[in-house]
Amino acid sequence: MGTKLSTQSYIRARYRPSSKRPSTANSHSASHLDNFDNKKQISSSTSFDKFTRSQPLYRQVSTTHMDTDSRFGHSPRELDEDRMNATHFALKALFGANFLNTVQQTIDFDSKSTRVLDVGCGTGTWIMDMATEFPNTEFVGIDRVHIFPAAIRPPNATFKLVDVRDGLPFEDNTFDLVNTRLFLLDLTATLWPEFIKEVLRITKPGGILQMMELQIMDEGDEVVQEFCSKMEQMMLKEDLDPRICEKMGNLISKNGFIPKEEVAKAVPLKGHVLSDEFIYVLDIIFDIARLVAYNTYDLSSESEYQSVKKRYIQSRKQSTDVKWWWIAGQKPMA
């Protein structure tokens, strides 16, 4: 209990938005980027050239991929940074660790030869937390937007700009552990298998893929059901799978990994010690995806949007929980 309360206090003190929060730079000098052993970077050997370069609605409003939204007078990127940081520590409190038991039993974090990759690292919170805890392990974080730390970081943590739709620029059998989180709005149903195959390629034999996704479909009351129904329709139209969290085991099994562990945890949004933290996360996600709400409810003003958001969040508080799915798969030894 003490650890959880400490985590909550940290989230509130560090990651609640502030009007004085400095803006994120739109561009960064190449000198601020770390090179991950350039001699070992290669082009993808899989069919990632089939990845679409278009930007449908959900990619325009999803994680880590937006600049300032002048239409609404706020920066979704700043909101998303707060959301990612708060999410990390809330999930660590919920599950009690940054990795599953399978990872603990398989990966030797005390070995200097151990390499870990975080795909879609965002602000780098998971990497920074892990690198501090395990100083002998080499950690690499990649994302297609530079919001990860440019200077202040543990010496065993590096970050690199990479768009996974172009493949993963690492040699075969490079990493002992590959971690991913919240790709449900970034990869289409068509592209998920190609992504898993590419992760398989860069994972060492016997290495682990760890994936976490949020269940966004919820039964709830009529307000929640209506929103989820419309959200599902829009996602399917964009070839996004709204129920990917329930299919991860089958997905990794069909694409080369051996499923080893699956854990699902639900947090009631009323009365749980972490309720406030996950409601805060949902609130920010709703703001990031406001274009979805505008399209879903045919809104025409900010006041209409705020009314819809208030009604939705209140319904989530009273009638639903938030459920997270975590899975680990192992690459065969041969």
CA distance 84 to 64: 9
pTM of the model as a whole: 0.77
At residue 19, the pLDDT reads: 34
The residues spanned by each domain of the chain are 56-330
At residue 5, the pLDDT reads: 36
**Nearest 5°: CA angle at 63, between 57 and 69?**
65
CATH code of the region 56-330: 3.40.50.150
For the chain (length 334 residues), average pLDDT per consecutive 10? 39 35 34 38 40 37 36 45 79 95 98 98 93 98 85 90 92 98 89 97 99 87 86 86 94 98 93 87 78 84 94 90 95 92
At residue 79, the pLDDT reads: 53
Residues 6+ apart with CB under 8 A from 56: 238
Alpha helices per DSSP H over the chain? 2-15, 57-61, 76-95, 101-106, 125-133, 192-202, 222-237, 248-254, 275-288, 290-297, 302-319
